[in-house]
Amino acid sequence: MPIVSAGDARVDYQVHGSGDGVLFVHGTGFGAAGTWGHLVDQFTDDRTVLLPDLAGCGATEYDGGELTVEQLAAQIIGVIEDAGKGPVDLVGFSLGAVVSAAVAATRPDLVSRLVLTAGWAGPGDAYLNNHMTVWRSLSGDADAFGRFGTLTAFSPDFLNGVGHEPLEGIIAGNQPTEGALRHIDLNLRADIRELLPKIEAETLVIGCTLDSTVPVANARELAAGIARSSYSEIKSGHVVVYENPTDFVKLVKDFIRKA
């Protein structure tokens, strides 16, 4: 897999398919393969899919210090330039939506269309701040950390319907790694409100109506701050890419493929 240097990081990324580029940016803790791997084949019939691991995930290496939105945005910029596929359609989920918005605002030449899913603009939401603070405080108990993160990542209907063994597998995979904790710390500080008016790309903002991690009002705020934005909602908990992938893929494909 290709590796590109960006600041203090050596960013590992995957390339699949051929055609115009579409780059997917994952969220807190889970890397690119864990977030997007099951959806790649939905896009590779006519697109080159780029899947980078942000610092703190996968095989990407960095110095282990405090992360910033600017650092992570620089990593995505480095991947786009290294892959030679710019401008790309840029799709970000959760923390990846925050990072993707920053990329679009600071390097409009590299972004054709922008999709922001289950993201937020700044630290003003008391629910989000308390959620992240409690989650972070559970880092000394891996089981509690995994159960709390899973409890708020999905809707009650999904959790009740997925089955005991698959649910326990999800919980076990939601671990307080050093990278995940760095991401949570960044979630508490991230503030891109001043960048939103600088976004030039046509943008689709997706909110998840049953989101218990990042309340859907945050997605609405993102959309309101971006001039060329449209807004859609999906009935889903936070991790829509697993809970309702059919509706998510349709929205994204319809948006990036429209004339």
Segments in 7-155 forming alpha helices (H) = 32-36, 69-83, 95-106, 126-137, 142-153
Q: Does residue 259 register a pLDDT over 80? A: no
Among residues 65, 73, 156, the alpha carbon closest in space to that of 108 is found at 73
Categorize the per-residue pLDDT at 1 as very low, low, confident or very high, splitting at 50, 70 and 90.
Answer: confident
What is the pLDDT confidence band of residue 234, given thresholds at 50, 70 and 90?
A: very high
d(CA 159, CA 236): 11
Contacts for 216 with CB less than 8 Å, ≥ 6 apart: 207, 208, 209, 233
- pLDDT at position 64 is 87
Catalytic residue among 94, 100, 229, 236: 94
DSSP bridge pairs for 114: 90, 203
Q: Is the pLDDT of residue 228 over 90?
A: yes
Q: Span 199-216, mean pLDDT? A: 99
Q: Which residue has the tokens 């698959």?
A: 166
The two tokens of residue 210 are: 């049953």
Residue type, 25: V
122, pLDDT greater than 90? yes
Is residue 134 over pLDDT 90? yes
What's domain 3-123+191-256's architecture?
A: 3-Layer(aba) Sandwich (3.40)
- The residue from 26, 131, 183, 238 that is catalytic is 238
Decide if pLDDT at 258 tops 90. Answer: no
Please say if 5 is a catalytic residue.
no
How confident is the model over 214-240, as a mean pLDDT? 99
Stretch 195-223: mean pLDDT, rounded? 99
Integer angstrom CA distances of residue 221 from 94, 114, 196, 256? 14, 16, 10, 22
Q: What is the pLDDT of residues 83-117, one digit of tens each?
A: 999 999 999 999 999 999 999 999 999 999 999 99
The helix (H) or strand (E) run that includes residue 70 is: helix 69-83
- Model confidence over 32-79: pLDDT tens digits? 999 999 999 999 999 999 999 999 999 999 998 899 999 999 999 999
Residue of 12, 155, 211, 229 with catalytic role: 211
Active site residue 238: yes
| Tokens found for residue 123 | 């630290």
Amino acid 218: pLDDT: 99
Chain length of the chain: 259
CA angle 52, 49, 79 (to 5 degrees): 40
- Report percent pLDDT > 90 for the chain: 97
Which pLDDT band, with edges at 50, 70 and 90, does 20 fall under?
very high
Please report, for the chain, the start and end positions of each structural domain, with discontinuous segments joined by +: 3-123+191-256
